[in-house]
Structure 1
């Protein structure tokens, strides 16, 4: 057993469900482009960067656009998304999150955020969760998308903890792969079928306790 000294958390789907707001914003954009975009299509966007998400939607619609237009559309989607999440409150923190963050802190574990989101500070501030984290690595600090391990390795470096002493909490397949690629332990939040590469899969942080870290 390797002693876990740090927990690194993805944001969307782990601490808060902002996925519904991403979907609403992408759906609004797809409707403008006359592209049929369903919740099933939306599954393909999990853990994927904003530009790649747009490219997937354009592929679904069979539309090709120049880079400048794509940038403008991605910014338009983001402005709608930011408008949605600006209204977030602490009521939308997922079950068990705050309890586990408190438990981990009280047991001297270091905590980091490792998210592709460029809006993580806005979200964490609205949820009043910022103070729990010793390090916040988000889309403003990294250039490589998961499954590249950059976001998690930067988090470990800021915490001054070796990757093998870190555990990552992720709800996306690409995120679990990034954790594996970083040489870290991983706990999946969601479906065991999709997150089969994780060391352990739970349905949410309400199921988490320190004993489960001891068996990693």
Structure 2
């Protein structure tokens, strides 16, 4: 990869911010307490990927909820998550330095997430990092969520970068799978999953706990 072609694509939750436990608690309350799904916290954790409507479809079956109900429960879940997480919000260790160094090296950056704009805006604006990103792809911008490659391919297209010259940063197996499906290499952040959960994928360059790992410095 040449520096002019290189681009970094970041998932949001668990990758820019370490907030998946807060999402898990909010989903558990909605799914189990409010909607009556008989799921444990661990079972909720396995299911909470992709768009919110896709989560509801996987658990309750398609067409159980109207579009209006999906929107209602989706926003209620995000309001609960944001209220609980806001006092704790911060970048994952070392990411501030990586963003600054990437900008200095003219590496293009994008957020490529299954989160809705409401949550992406919440993170980028509270952390004051929006200016680093040349493209943002949210759940609203794609037809099919991860592990389909559309999210990452669209982000690369918006940056004018080819897939083979992109590095994806992800915390979830389905996200790493989406990167692999897009023809992109990936760095797996082990905030939410141990490296054993990624054993079936061949596109992982490294497993890191956070962005202070020496491998991260080698990318620039």
Q: What TM-score bracket applies, with the shorter chain setting the length?
A: 0.7 to 0.9
- Give a deviation string over 1:154-200, Cα, whole Å, max 9, x none: 11111111111100000111111111111111111112211232222
Q: Quick check: 1:23 aligned with 2:11?
A: no
1:203 aligns with 2:204: no
Deviation, structure 1 residue 36: 3.7
What are the Cα deviations for residues 58-94 of structure 1, in whole angstroms up to 9, with x where unaligned?
37xxxx97332x7515522422423432562684222
Q: Which runs of 5+ in 2 are unaligned?
A: none
- Give the equivalent residue in structure 2 for 1:94: 92
Alpha carbons 2:179, 2:186 under 8 Å: kept: yes
| TM-score, normalised via structure 1 length | 0.84
Number of residue equivalences? 207
**Structure 1 unmatched ranges of 5 or more:** none
TM-score (norm: length of structure 2): 0.83
Alpha-carbon shift at residue 32 of structure 1 (Å): 2.1
Supply the distance in 2 between the matched residues of 1:33 and 1:80 (Cα, whole angstroms). 12
Distance 1:46 1:177, change over 3 A: same
Give the 3-state SS of the residue equivalent to 2:98 in structure 1: helix
Q: How does 1:34-183 map to 2 (within 5 A)?
A: 34-58=36-60, 66-68=64-66, 72-73=69-70, 75-85=72-82, 88=86, 91-118=89-116, 119-183=119-183
Residue range with higher mean Cα deviation, 74-83 or 112-121: 74-83
Q: Could you tell which deviates more after superposition, 126-135 or 19-28?
A: 19-28
Could you tell which deviates more after superposition, 19-28 or 124-133?
19-28
Q: CA RMSD in A?
A: 2.4
